[in-house]
Structure 1
Amino acid sequence: MCGWHLRTETEGRHDDVVTRLREGMAGGVLSFPLTSFDDDDGALDLDSYREYVAAQVATGPGAVFPACGTGEFFSLDEDEYRQVVTATVEETAGRVPVVAGIGYGWAQAVRFARIAEEAGADALLVLPHYLVRGPQSGLVAQVEQIAARTRLPLIVYQRDQVAFSAQSLTSIAALPNVIGLKDGHSDLDQLQRLTLAAPDGFLFFNGAATAEVQARAYAAVGVPAYSSAVHAFAPEIAAAFFTALRDGDDARVRQLLRAFYIPFVELRDRVPGYGVSLVKAAARLRGRPVGPVRAPLADPTPADLADLERLLAAGLDLVSETAETATAGAAR
């Protein structure tokens, strides 16, 4: 096996992790923390990262997903990855599940999987593989190769060049340690087919960019859980939207979409890579020393940064005003 060792034991469907994730998803958004880099040389700033993760966990997310897309997984070497996942596990201290990102071809993904396993992660998010497109049989084989070589449960992320058919989903869902799928395509017709093809208890996640914009549509096909990039810099806004959506407060949902989320998406779409760059810049505006993005991403232009600052202030003011109104009403 060229040095690779297959995992011959199984651990059921990892019911404990599935239960913790389902309970967490019902009570909060999913946190995808930014990875902190030094302003001067771009090196990993682990102390800043620890402080940032601790602050994220204090807001009560459903789970924490380190070293994924928002965490710039693609720019981390294996040693940096180990430090990031280890620090996340230590800072969460078992309060919420830790789901670490892995990716590239299956051989490299397995190397990251073993690092995450040693670091104490609860599960893995299998990011889309690098560069090439493959047939459905190849997409299934990629997951099979990873699943056979780790004890940790897997959530498979489909976006860009990875899109599973219902038949392929049935195949990977039958693997003992594949517990869920995160969707970034927003093809709701196909997503409905996938949810119907999946076994009972299989987890689905809305992984669309700025997922709140499509959260109601995803929930309508049975996928209410979502990841929130906004939570990475404005957990107050993310929590307000989550609560409104959960409570069926459609007027509040529309208000937040109009005043903050749609303008944020329009700003995000100006430049490729802003899905991460703007989030990191917004975190810096909130006083979090997360540092710059690493190339090939680029930090926002001064003009876009000014627009971001105005939008962020407006979003925070909206949430604060609503909270004050609610408090005043309760006091009467």
Structure 2
Amino acid sequence: MTAPTCPAFEGVLFFPVTPFTEAGEVDLDALSRHIASGVDAGPGGVFIACGTGEFHALELQEFGPIVRTAVEVVAGRVPVYAGAGGSVAQAKQFAVAAKEAGADGLLLLPPYLVEMPQAGLVAYVRDVAGASDLPVIVYNRNNARFIEASAIAVSKISNVIGFKDGTGDLDNVARIVHAVTNAMKGEAKDFLFFNGMPTAETTQQAYRAVGVPLYSSATFAFAPDLALAFYNALETGNAELTTALLREFFHPLVRLRDTVPGYAVSLVKAGVTFEGIPAGPVRPPLIMPTSDDLTKLRSIIDAGRAVLAAALAQAR
């Protein structure tokens, strides 16, 4: 298998939700509108049916149409990567389904519940990566925690093209970035590093400092204006706007998110509905925000947009 070319991810990475009807069925029409609106705002890539998209709650028969819908709506404007994970057998089935649906690559999520030695983690990645020729980004989080040696081992798999961190262990991440970068010198492929922390904007300054330039943005799914403003402020060195957005929007959002397990998904879904696209409920075991928390979310979004309005007024 030849080494795939790394996609040119530039800008904020869009992780759509998966809209459901009130009856609990996948709502492909709402998904199409959601993705179209997001892509029109200008992300650097679309990651469909991943963590924010409730991959853990999807059946294989639902997954294919979801990925196909994303591919059709995006229409080649940016790369479309799809989630895969779970048991090795399940992950391989999802990898094949993503390929058949036209995805450009995979984000490999951890196996569920299982604790594993490093050699077993490498074998898991190798088996799933071998199920298709799609480029694979491995996700370092939860029970799938890499060290330098295992990160180097998976980076050598021909179609593994990236490493995404969701642990927040910057010491380990910095060592992995250094080790993999050195190990990949002279290889025929580039290798990408991503910040995959929930509400990644709050940690991206630190991740950039250790060589991780790319990040996923759950905020982009419901407030692309805020996500893009933060990204542009960070890229241009606008410390005043970066600080104001962190203070008024991102940090309050994190504080609300951390009050209930699963709010990292359900708050995003509520935010999408606020913006006019009915995203429906989350599937159990996640729960939707309480009415009080929905009110808090609206206030946080309003505060973030007030920061943008003030910045625009000042620039005139």
Structures share a fold, TM > 0.5? yes
Counterpart check, 1:193 vs 2:175:
yes
Stretches of 4+ moved more than 3 A in 1?
Answer: none
1:279 aligned partner: 268
- Structure 1 residue aligned with 2:284, among 270, 291, 295? 295
Question: What is the correspondence of 1:129-144 to structure 2 with a 5 Å cutoff?
Answer: 129-144=111-126
2:12 aligned partner: 29
Give the Å deviation of 1:317: 2.1
Note the aligned Cα RMSD (angstroms).
1.0
Question: What is the correspondence of 1:164-313 to structure 2 with a 5 Å cutoff?
Answer: 164-198=146-180, 199-200=184-185, 201-313=190-302
In the superposition, the TM-score normalised over structure 1's length comes to: 0.91
Give the Å deviation of 1:170: 1.0
Give the Å deviation of 1:122: 0.5
The secondary structure found in structure 2 opposite 1:33 is coil
Q: Distance between the aligned counterparts of 1:323 and 1:55, measured in 2? A: 23
- Deviations 1:136-157 (CA, angstroms, capped at 9, x unpaired): 0110110011122211011000
- Structure 1 residue aligned with 2:75, among 86, 93, 107? 93
Give the Å deviation of 1:325: 3.1
Q: Could you tell me which amino acid in structure 1 is paired with residue 45 of structure 2?
A: A
Q: Could you tell me which amino acid in structure 1 is paired with residue 18 of structure 2?
A: T
Q: Could you tell me which amino acid in structure 2 is paired with residue 222 of structure 1?
A: G
Q: Could you tell me which amino acid in structure 1 is paired with residue 262 of structure 2?
A: G
Q: Could you tell me which amino acid in structure 2 is paired with residue 63 of structure 1?
A: G
- Deviations 1:123-179 (CA, angstroms, capped at 9, x unpaired): 000001111110101101100111222110110001111111100111111110010
1:58 aligned partner: 40
- Deviations 1:180-233 (CA, angstroms, capped at 9, x unpaired): 111001111111110111124211000011100000000000002100010010
Q: Distance between the aligned counterparts of 1:73 and 1:83, measured in 2? A: 13
Q: Distance between the aligned counterparts of 1:323 and 1:56, measured in 2? A: 22
2:87 aligned partner: 105
Identity over aligned pairs, percent: 49
In the superposition, the TM-score normalised over structure 2's length comes to: 0.96
Q: Distance between the aligned counterparts of 1:320 and 1:31, measured in 2? A: 23
The secondary structure found in structure 1 opposite 2:198 is coil
Q: Distance between the aligned counterparts of 1:294 and 1:316, measured in 2? A: 30
Give the Å deviation of 1:320: 2.6
Conserved in 1, the CA contact under 8 Å of 2:84 and 2:109? yes
2:109 aligned partner: 127
- Structure 2's unaligned 5+ residue stretches are none
Count of residues in correspondence between the two structures = 309
1:321 aligned partner: 310
- Structure 2 residue aligned with 1:49, among 31, 37, 53? 31
Give the Å deviation of 1:107: 1.1
